[in-house]
Structure 1
Amino acid sequence: MRSECQVPSAAADLELAAVTKAYGDTVAVDRVSLKVPAGTYCCLLGPSGCGKSSTLRMVAGHEFISDGDVMIGNTIVNDLPPARRGTAMMFQNYALFPHLDVRENVAFALKMAGTAKEERLKRADAMLAMVDMSAYASRLPAQLSGGQQQRVALARALITNPTVLLLDEPLSALDPFLRIRMRAELKRYQREFGISFVHVTHSQEEAMALADMVVVMNDGRIEQVGTPREVFNAPRTRFVAQFMGGHNVVTEGASAYAVRADKLRLSPLGDAEAGSSPATVSDVEYQGMTIHVALKRPDGTDLLATLPEHEFDRAPVAVGDTVGVAWHPHDRHELAA
């Protein structure tokens, strides 16, 4: 996260206070309160239907707020139209105008604001240079690749000098290789502009790679807010532990705790260490640098061990083997009820 001295004057905090969105009797967003400091890359993360896109659209002004307040800087923006909120939206499908060339697409918002043609095209050219798209200024969107279209959409959103850029699953339409490259570019642009990016995604990997702040949502509510490391290493609830992946959730009596899959140790049953318990191997999956070993304990609990390839090769196991499973007590992370 940037320090205050690095954040441009255009940047401002974004705050949601008990924001609610209801569609009749269905509550899509349930009293969400959140503060995103200026200059933060924030990812709203969760499964489909958890309320993350509705939250983003309420911030943008594309969705009516049923209750609560959205504040940008010192201004409550609930009743302001999207163009007056100081936000810009980058949509999942990029929403470029097919009949306008790249330069005119980027300049469109300035045209709507009444900026003179020479000035808006000059600013559009400067923005295209920033996203390395100057050579494509006269092309139509249909003549661009997915990654190039994304750069144009980003330039179009940023040309209005927004206080907060809102991104609705901007990488979901890209192939896996391009997705990795483009998320690095998004992070670089966020640092260069110094404004907050609020990015909706259902990808845990994407959120951890991009975010300063991860907001995990479930059923219209916030389950946990923290840095990627905090959310992954110290999940507060069973949902967060399971949704983030890489954790085993173990129930003992009325309590539950999480243990990371890479912290599990396997050993032959006859040589099992003290404190280990037996489990049967139900699947072995090769993942290159790691091997995923799925296990089932006699009480029906499913476990997953993630082993480095060299460690697995020293003591390989196969489906149907019974092994001892153990972990250090300090690798046990207690979960809220």
Structure 2
Amino acid sequence: MQPHELELISLTKRYGKALAVDAIDYRFGAGVYACLLGPSGCGKSSTLRMIAGHESVSEGSIVLDGRDVSRLPPARRGTAMMFQSYALFPHLSVRDNVAFSLRMKGVDKAERNACAMEMLELVDMKDHADRRPAQLSGGQQQRVALARALITRPQVLLLDEPLSALDPFLRIRMRAELKRLQRELGITFIHVTHGQDEALALADEIIVMNAGRIEQAGPALEVWSRPATGFVARFIGGHNVLDAPGGIVAVRADAIRLAAPGAAAFTGHVTGVEYQGAHVALTAQADGRSPRFCPRLPSSMPPSRRARRWG
């Protein structure tokens, strides 16, 4: 499998009068792990489904490896999609689930089974080839769905919130598996998620969407550390967004500290305390001001330092 460049050109999706994706332009580098990140209804899933061919394009183009695939059926695009529900056939074995697309293409049984076993070995599921989906855990079903998508040898693999149905511990394990597979295969992965932690852990590139448009796109570290808009700063997490004379200012929560009265730039009252394991998140109302600040403090800090009054 070779990496190929994918470009979206003024890509637009309308559902009646509703505008779901608003003329977005973006070029995915060959062989990258990219995450479309944003809240529900921002247009990320519609974008992914247009790339896959499961939604029609209202306007614009999808160009893969120099070829406009916007009007081609899914099977002829060079993409494969892994659905959120996994959509495995309950009456087929794991091997037959993975081999199903080759069966539909008329590939003989011996060849398609050999290809299926190769894919199952790639996702460490070879020993479960004769089981049915109901006999597998959620993480195992996800691996089978991945193998089924990869057997078509796609140029781009599309993943629609593939980790959302997993418990938190398994989700972290499967993040590592996805990243390993992407690096081994060297093909482009485009992964839709509304989870900031998931995107930061996986992505080479993050594309933050809001109201059908791209708010900011770039390397994960850049999007996290230098948010371009107030929306990105709030959504990506960990930032306090303040109105300032020159515009919006974003201050990371871990850059704010409690200080003795008279030694701080702002005084205020703590209005909420949330324990989050390694740290404690405080919500504070600044005295005489409208902004709410959210500093993060080490959870080992003595209770007296997490006082009712901040200043």
Structure 2: segments with no counterpart, 5+ residues: none
Contact conserved, 2:239 with 2:253, CA < 8 A, in 1?
A: yes
**Secondary structure class of the residue paired with 2:184:** helix
TM-score using structure 2 length: 0.97
Q: Does 1:142 align with 2:142?
A: no
Q: Does 1:302 align with 2:292?
A: yes
Which residue of the partner structure matches residue 273 of structure 2? 284
Q: Does 1:20 align with 2:12?
A: yes
Q: CA RMSD in A?
A: 1.2
Q: Does 1:37 align with 2:29?
A: yes
Distance in 1 of aligned mates of 2:8 and 2:222: 22
Q: CA deviation at 1:266?
A: 1.4
Q: Does 1:203 align with 2:192?
A: no
Contact conserved, 1:40 with 1:195, CA < 8 A, in 2?
A: yes
**Secondary structure class of the residue paired with 1:277:** coil
Q: CA deviation at 1:287?
A: 2.0
Which residue of the partner structure matches residue 54 of structure 2? 62
Stretches of 4+ moved more than 4 A in 1?
A: none
TM-score using structure 1 length: 0.90
Query: Which of the residues 241, 249, 257 maps onto 1:249?
Result: 241
Distance in 2 of aligned mates of 1:314 and 1:227: 38
Which residue of the partner structure matches residue 335 of structure 1? none
Q: CA deviation at 1:128?
A: 0.7
Structure 1: segments with no counterpart, 5+ residues: 1-7, 325-337
**Secondary structure class of the residue paired with 1:192:** helix
Instruction: Give the number of equivalent residue pairs.
Output: 310
Which residue of the partner structure matches residue 163 of structure 1? 155
Letter in structure 2 aligned against 1:282 = T
Describe the superposition over 1:56-78 as per-residue Cα deviations: whole angstroms up to 9, x where unpaired: 00000000000000000010001
Letter in structure 2 aligned against 1:151 = R
Which residue of the partner structure matches residue 109 of structure 2? 117
Identity %: 58
Q: Does 1:317 align with 2:276?
A: no
Q: Does 1:178 align with 2:170?
A: yes
Describe the superposition over 1:114-170 as per-residue Cα deviations: whole angstroms up to 9, x where unpaired: 111110001101111111111110111111110000000000000110000000000
Which residue of the partner structure matches residue 293 of structure 1? 282
Distance in 1 of aligned mates of 2:15 and 2:292: 38
Distance in 2 of aligned mates of 1:77 and 1:317: 57
**Secondary structure class of the residue paired with 1:63:** coil
Distance in 1 of aligned mates of 2:182 and 2:139: 17
**Secondary structure class of the residue paired with 1:115:** coil
Contact conserved, 1:208 with 1:228, CA < 8 A, in 2?
A: yes
Distance in 1 of aligned mates of 2:67 and 2:299: 54
Describe the superposition over 1:276-335 as per-residue Cα deviations: whole angstroms up to 9, x where unpaired: 12111112222222121211012121000011234x32861333x1x22xxxxxxxxxxx
Letter in structure 1 aligned against 2:299 = E
**Secondary structure class of the residue paired with 1:268:** coil
Distance in 2 of aligned mates of 1:187 and 1:97: 26
